Amino acid sequence: MIELRFILEGGDFDRAGTASSETKKILKQLNIDPKVIKHTVVALYEAEVNIAAHAYRGEVIITVSDHQILAVLKDEGPGIADINRAMLEGFSTASPKVREMGFGAGMGLPNMKKNADVLEVESTPGAGTTVRMIFNF
Amino acid sequence: MTMKIEKIIRLLDAKIVCGNHRVSDDISYAFSSDLMSDVLTLDAENMLLITGLANVQIIRTAEVAEIHHLVIVRNKKVSDDIVELANELNMILIESPYSMFKASGILYANGLNPLY
């Protein structure tokens, strides 16, 4: 079993994606199916962008076991008031700055759901959000 | 039908920013977007991304989406650290003076396939 940890800063768009990039390199070294790698890093990148866009800081923990990749992203931030609404395609509370970067169209969580075998989102408004994703192989 | 990167460069009056070794690559599809969230929903190989953005997130998006060929339209200039990252990730970056509409139209008219 392999565990990877990354610290993320809210608002840091220059570094958003570096955890996904490092994870991709390691999953490749582990000879995991390229399709599984793509699903994992696309979902992970969306989640990283969400933390950069909305949270103050966050942590990513990736655990790779024999037939599964587990990604847990835990952030301190404003949280999500209505998770069901946030899961709808097109619903977004992103700032104009985030939209200028090419994100914030309300496609992040739906795309994470599409790529992960399991997606769980827990949030406490005013405290933060935890996202758990499982990718089976 | 596929199209070689060198032909795309000629058609778009473009120049290579980095990734010269990819000029002979064959491209099967093109997709034009400034919305990286949309690019992240795609599933295609040998795809050209045409974009008006010139920030580091186009490279990160291309990396996770397995895209290695990018055209940046309207003569937008990428910074040195973006070029460095694209080089490291084995991508070709091309700059065209044309608008996204014109670049897409020319490539489509010359037979390059759309993704959808």
Contacts (Cβ under 8 Å, ≥6 apart) of A56: A10, A75, A76, A77
- Between residues 47 and 66 of chain B, which touch chain A (CB distance below 8 Å)? 51, 53, 55-58, 60-61, 63-66
Give the pLDDT confidence score for residue B54 in this predicted structure: 96
Q: Is A4 on the interface with B (CB under 8 A)?
A: no
pTM as predicted: 0.94
Question: What does the radius of gyration of chain A's CA atoms come to, in whole angstroms?
Answer: 14
Q: Amino acid letter at A91? A: F
CB-based contact B37 A107, cutoff 8 Å: yes
Region B90-107: what's the mean pLDDT?
98
* Number of domains, chain A: 1
* Number of domains, chain B: 1
> Above pLDDT 90, what percent of chain B?
98
Give the pLDDT confidence score for residue A31 in this predicted structure: 97
Contact between residue B64 and residue A42 where contact means Cβ atoms under 8 Å apart: yes
Region B36-65: what's the mean pLDDT?
96
Task: Please give the residue range of the domain that contains residue A16.
Answer: 2-136
CATH number at residue A76: 3.30.565.10
Give the pLDDT confidence score for residue A137 in this predicted structure: 96
CATH number at residue B57: 3.40.1390.20
Q: Please tell me the distance from the alpha carbon of residue A76 to that of residue A64, in angstroms, as a whole number.
A: 24
